[in-house]
Chains A and B, each alone.
Chain A
Amino acid sequence: MPTPPLSSGSRQAVRAEARRRRGRRGAAISALSTVVVIGGLVALVVTSPGWDSVRQLFFSWEDFRTAFPDVLKGFWLDVKLFVIVEAVVLVLGLVVALCRTSRTPALFPLRLLATLFTDLLRGVPTILLVFMIGFGVPALELSGVPTDAVVLGAAALALSYSAYVAEVYRAGIRSVHPSQRAAALALGLTEAQALRHVILPQAVRRVVPPLLNDFVALQKDVALVSILGPLEAFRQAQIYASSNFNYTPLLAAACLYLCVTVPLARVVDRLQERP
């Protein structure tokens, strides 16, 4: 026997009910699987043979409290470094990118230099660069060149990250269709004006998400400056750890880095969702 047709009102009600049922089932499944996975991982760690000693070494509340003020003070240096280096990177990266994309024959040496800059600085591990500039430059004993470890470390980071950011900018510039340049030139604008008013504004807008992604990476890589001696968060935590035989301060430092990188990462997500 065929089912009698539903009236349009009750058909809507039936569909809405089915949708609600599907929604409830979905929520229940995701909650259950979260509990199982997280619970399983926690159980695995907590029941491991070495858990008791790990807990004392890494999760000591006492040590956390004692070390935290010093680590926080060190973290302030990280934040200052990050802000200054980032500002330099945004400008230097753009300059290098513009040199690499220039077409004028007169600028060929600049183009060559910019290409070398990105190739070399991206090809060398950042930690090695910090080491070489931090210890190599003072060894030259040049007058007028700063020998302060923080300044040199910041310079090394700025150079390294400028190379990455230059490539991000360059990708953005290349992604603007040539017809935009043609339209600008057709209006009588010079090449420089076309770049300044038409190409760059569009290019920069497009590369904001990848630029922010590099910010997140830089935010934690400022810890590399510690190998030159400055007492930033990681270094402070390390000092405390080695004199008290307890690694909890490292966890404190990790939490502080996360306090900055996680919100930054969410901002990146939001920006990337936008078309």
Chain B
Amino acid sequence: MTDVVLEVRGVTKAYGAAEVLRGIDLRVPEHSAVALIGASGSGKSTLLRCVDLLEEIDDGDVLLDGEVITDPAVDVNAVRRRLGLVFQAFNLFPHMTVLENVVLGPVRAQGVAVGEARERGRELLERFGLGGREDSRPDDLSGGQQQRVAIVRALATRPRALLLDEVTSALDPELVGEVLAVVRDLKADGMTMIIATHEMAFARDVADEVCFLHEGRVLERGPAAEMFSAPSRPETQRFLRRLLEAR
């Protein structure tokens, strides 16, 4: 039996009167990828931010390797060091070079020696086709390159699991492929991931399980192939039909 890396149990979150998450349950076994699909506002991003402790949850628990990380006594910084989060809008640090972006986490948060962090940063950049870009500023890169740097930045801290928040939604269509290729590569490497996405073909290829979020609840879940070919809930059917019509 494989270990469960991340587990979400009955998590709720409200902003004032707006209930964004209404009791979410999720299990992410080691080396597996769970895709979160659903309309904008269904709670995908909020869930990822809650798992990375960027937002405080109201009720429920999040467990990382069996440890309850949403316990108020837990050191949030120590937890965040064990997880990687990649944002929709990249959120690279514009005043730093690509390599400085990549080594900031290892050097400042994890106490890795600068030389060692730079060397590993270079290796990672090289691996994801960004060799020679170490000294560029993020603004001088294409959107696809920026997002790949952001993924490398998250990987540089050797996270136990990677949380991807609609990593291709801010990209021009012709740049989506290069970023998805990186995620496929990571999956083949055995990275444990939660992937919020609107790319259904990609979700079908990469995800071991797909969860359909609707108004803060997981309405339907299952293996990707089943979900897409025979969704059982009318809401899921409607959502998938709308996505197809938009093509």
Contact = CB atoms under 8 A, between A and B. Distances in A.
B78 to A, nearest CB: 8
Contacts of B2: none
Interface in A7-60: none
Interface range for A: 10 to 19
A201 B101 CA distance: 13
A28 B236 CA distance: 72
B94 A202 contact: yes
B77 interface: yes
Given A180-B93, A182-B87, A202-B94, A187 B54 contact: no
A193 B104 CA distance: 10
A197 interface: yes
A189 B89 contact: no
B96 to A, nearest CB: 8
A173 to B, nearest CB: 14
Contact of A187 (B78, B95, B109): B109
B169 interface: no
B105 A189 contact: yes
Interface range for B: 20 to 34
A180 B80 CA distance: 15
A188 B89 contact: no
Nearest to A198: B93
A237 B33 CA distance: 79
Contacts of A187: 80-81, 104-105, 108-109, 153-154, 157
A82 to B, nearest CB: 29
A102 interface: no
B142 interface: no
Interface in A135-192: 179-180, 182-190
B232 interface: no
Nearest to A183: B91
Given A189-B77, A189-B109, A197 B94 contact: no
B77 A186 contact: no
A183 B85 CA distance: 8
B95 A189 contact: no
A266 interface: no
Contacts of A193: 108-109
A197 B104 contact: yes
Nearest to A196: B108
B95 A205 contact: yes
B61 interface: no
25 contacts: A179-B89, A179-B91, A180-B91, A180-B93, A182-B54, A182-B87, A183-B87, A184-B93, A185-B54, A186-B52, A186-B54, A187-B81, A187-B104, A187-B109, A187-B153, A187-B154, A188-B105, A188-B110, A189-B105, A190-B109, A193-B108, A197-B104, A198-B93, A198-B104, A205-B95
Given A179-B87, A186-B80, A197-B104, 9 more contacts: A179-B91, A182-B87, A183-B92, A187-B104, A187-B108, A187-B109, A189-B108, A193-B108, A202-B95
